[in-house]
Chain A
Amino acid sequence: DTGVSQDPRHKITKRGQNVTFRCDPISEHNRLYWYRQTLGQGPEFLTYFQNEAQLEKSRLLSDRFSAERPKGSFSTLEIQRTEQGDSAMYLCASSFSGYEQYFGPGTRLTVT
């Protein structure tokens, strides 16, 4: 059973550019989550899906962030007009119906 995978693992971009990250969950998992982690902090919830439906989105999440899970399998997280404050590790997790969440290796974003 393969775990959660994320692509790319590292992304360096210039301020103002758009970036998109991909997450592939564990195959039988119907829920998928995005979190953001900055240095020295715990992961912070961004949004989550059950199948294709986006069930919750953090109120702290800027309108520049959007996530999709079009076929209920993989998900993408897009950040438009990146800012230096967006530099962080973006983590994806999946679960089966809300049981324990299993995390991927993360995508480290650096905005210069």
Chain B
Amino acid sequence: AQKVTQAQTEISVVEKEDVTLDCVYETRDTTYYLFWYKQPPSGELVFLIRRNSFDEQNEISGRYSWNFQKSTSSFNFTITASQVVDSAVYFCALSEARTDKLIFGTGTRLQVFP
């Protein structure tokens, strides 16, 4: 069965600190996709990244970076030099090749204080 675990329920940091959000997934498929979404206080889910299971290269986009490690079934997300605008709930999600449905974790609430 597919499952996504985000063990960190809530993280609080002070502006300019780096923060890493953890995501561990379970799947029996060899072809799958991993995602991160941001849900700010306004409520709308914002797409951040999609990775396929054959591409383990780490990715960096501005202050955001993602570390995908198949050996530990993890897809962690790091925000460098956090800002107050990064405050949101962040969701990790999984989908398998045979279906489009996203399986979400329970989310990590990030609060960045000035």
Chain A residues near B (Cβ < 8 Å)? 31, 33, 35, 40-45, 48, 55-56, 58, 89, 91, 93, 95, 98-106
Contact yes or no, A105 B105, CB < 8 A: no
Query: B88 within 8 Å of A by Cβ?
Result: no
Measured between beta carbons, the chain B residues less than 8 angstroms from A43 are 45, 91, 102, 104
A85 to B100: give the CA distance in the assembly, Å. 26
Residues of B35-59 contacting chain A, CB below 8 A: 35, 37, 42-47, 50
Partner of B101, one of A40, A45, A100, A105: A45
Minimum Cβ distance to chain B for residue A55 (Å): 8
B69 in contact (CB, < 8 A) = no
Total residues of chain B contacting the partner, CB 8 A: 21
A98 vs B44: C-alpha distance in the bound complex, in angstroms? 20
List 23 A–B pairs whose Cβ atoms lie within 8 Å, in order of A's numbering: A33-B100, A35-B102, A40-B106, A42-B4, A42-B93, A42-B106, A42-B107, A44-B104, A45-B102, A45-B103, A48-B101, A56-B99, A56-B100, A89-B43, A91-B45, A95-B100, A99-B50, A100-B50, A102-B47, A103-B47, A104-B44, A105-B43, A106-B44
Q: Which of A55, A100, A106 contacts B43 (CB 8 A)?
A: A106
Q: How far is the CA of A103 from the CA of B42 in the complex (A)?
A: 13
Whether A105 pairs with B44 at a CB distance below 8 angstroms is: yes
Using CB atoms and an 8 Å cutoff, list the residues of chain B in contact with chain A: 4, 35, 37, 42-47, 50, 91, 93, 99-107
Other than A40-B107, A58-B101, A103-B47, give 4 A-B pairs with Cβ distance below 8 A: A41-B107, A42-B107, A43-B104, A93-B45
